[in-house]
Structure 1
């Protein structure tokens, strides 16, 4: 049973006249008759009763029409659905976000305001290669690949306003070697980077709490339960809520990381991905500049 046979049958059922149906299909009358005959042989039933001047649907024929109606409608709608799916796929940006997720989330919100038709799929998987853009972070590196952009970000030491360190203009990390640290969980790249800062300062951090959530880190530092590292601008929206936290420039060691934005060369010809890639870079730079202005206005640097 072939799709064309079913299509021919449905037209014949509509007209109940072989000649009119054949004319509608732009095929010869014998070709239509043979197609219906083969379909009847395959199904083992008569689909039409022949009469003078035309044909009428038999009981099995009427049943077949009712069964085929939703199927044929689905087939008729299929090209549009496939085109819509292809368009949606083209308008979807796949992100693998392993670092700076607050920054990326805020960037997505800003981009969606300008481009509401663009969709995003967001995963956090170090092993996944199924992405348009991947955002991760490492300790500073000297070189980058052709499909990467590196944004440098320094870290501050976040302390409660009630801490004796809160009035410092800057601090040497070794000065807080005995303090309790509130840190991100060790499944995040930021954790290994911050641990390395402490090792370079000559100590292993005394971890009093670790969390997967940036807000929890902020809240616990604000509550005076410990101190922690704070990236310069990628957590900026969280910093704005942190009225009980002071951010101290770290004099030594040099606490910085590289935020690495990598686009997948396989999808580099998608103009939507390219546009968001450029938007994200500019958004991060704007956040950095705004953070520096805010700190200058607050007299911290």
Structure 2
């Protein structure tokens, strides 16, 4: 337990502050950590050697600095950690209890430092990469295969999601880069257009338009649509294209994945505007839309001002080099 009086008020906090927004506990914790953290390595060194002079030599700090650090640590905790006999010290029961947790905490910090250094390693580091579900079957595997030809040991953490969710992960620091559509325009992000993908009107095999190869989208104005849920980029594009064609789509089913929508179309439950499939699906016909121009732009985005590790920088450069040839022909 932290003894606040002996730390001369440095850990104390008014009841008003504790009551505002429930931040009192966090404020106490932050204050304790700020006070104790710089002294934990010193404590562990003295506890290991049980000799202040020897610990000071090993850690290459002045003996007086080390002695003051231990005294202040005990004052901040309000607990005696050492029994002193000249320059020789031994842990009290409280000191032994504290040492167990301190060693565990320092080991976790060391593990975390090793992990972030490994992730930043130019040859073996990690890239957190997000992409749309519709790019997972063919496009992204092809990109990773091509990139790893020159960077065979770079590791990837892959996240499939819809556009807005990936942008939030970028902002939260959970992703380094993402392939998304539409290409975002936001002040906190940097985005570069890489390619565009034609969208097709997918209809059931027995649909009245199934014998056609090319249609105007307005010809489907009376059909029921199956679409992705609101918030998905492809849903926004579908709504915009239908509006440009002069109608608002009547939506019967909303899903989260393009191939599920193809299954709904095959079952005769509606029509859909979708990018080409990786593998042709039976039961549907995919029609070229001549008007309006039915495409979606694919771009790469990252957080503005966010420093890149070497593997992230290499993969970003690789993606930008694929402008105009990102997608299969």
Give TM class, smaller chain: 0.5 to 0.7
| 1:221 is the counterpart of 2:265 | yes
Q: Which moved more, 1:196-205 or 1:276-285?
A: 276-285
Equivalent residue for 1:137? 181
Task: From the superposition, tell whether residues 11 and 246 of structure 1 become closer, same or farther in structure 2 (CA, over 3 Å).
Answer: same
Equivalent residue for 2:104? 74
Q: Is the 8 A contact 2:195 2:323 kept in 1?
A: no
Equivalent residue for 2:255? 211
| 1:117 is the counterpart of 2:147 | no
Equivalent residue for 1:297? none
Deviation at 1:166, TM superposition (A): 2.1
Match of 1:275 among 298, 309, 314: 314
Deviation at 1:270, TM superposition (A): 3.1
Equivalent residue for 1:195? 239
Unpaired segments of 5 or more residues in structure 1?
A: 290-301
Deviation at 1:225, TM superposition (A): 1.6
Q: Distance in 2 between matches of 1:21 and 1:49?
A: 15
Aligned residues: 267
Equivalent residue for 1:285? 325
* Matched position secondary structure for 1:202: coil
Deviation at 1:157, TM superposition (A): 1.0
* Counterpart mapping for 1:20-59 below 5 A: 47=83
* Matched position secondary structure for 1:226: coil
Q: Distance in 2 between matches of 1:165 and 1:187?
A: 29
Q: Which moved more, 1:146-155 or 1:189-198?
A: 146-155
Residue deviations 1:138-193, cap 9 Å, x none? 49x9xxx9851231122111111222322212122222222221122222222222
Task: From the superposition, tell whether residues 85 and 246 of structure 1 become closer, same or farther in structure 2 (CA, over 3 Å).
Answer: same
Deviation at 1:103, TM superposition (A): 0.7
Residue deviations 1:28-82, cap 9 Å, x none? 9x9699779969x9656982578xxx9795xxx4525532442453365355324
Q: Is the 8 A contact 1:8 1:32 kept in 2?
A: no
Q: Distance in 1 between matches of 2:160 and 2:226?
A: 27
Q: Is the 8 A contact 1:8 1:36 kept in 2?
A: no
Equivalent residue for 1:101? 133
Task: From the superposition, tell whether residues 274 and 147 of structure 1 become closer, same or farther in structure 2 (CA, over 3 Å).
Answer: farther
Task: From the superposition, tell whether residues 241 and 84 of structure 1 become closer, same or farther in structure 2 (CA, over 3 Å).
Answer: farther
Q: Is the 8 A contact 2:80 2:94 kept in 1?
A: no
TM-score normalised over the length of structure 2: 0.61
Task: From the superposition, tell whether residues 122 and 93 of structure 1 become closer, same or farther in structure 2 (CA, over 3 Å).
Answer: farther
Task: From the superposition, tell whether residues 45 and 120 of structure 1 become closer, same or farther in structure 2 (CA, over 3 Å).
Answer: closer
TM-score normalised over the length of structure 1: 0.66
Q: Which moved more, 1:274-283 or 1:79-88?
A: 274-283
Q: Distance in 2 between matches of 1:147 and 1:248?
A: 31
* Matched position secondary structure for 1:229: strand
Q: Distance in 1 between matches of 2:271 and 2:309?
A: 44
Deviation at 1:249, TM superposition (A): 1.0
Q: Distance in 2 between matches of 1:249 and 1:69?
A: 70
Task: From the superposition, tell whether residues 89 and 284 of structure 1 become closer, same or farther in structure 2 (CA, over 3 Å).
Answer: farther
* Matched position secondary structure for 1:204: coil
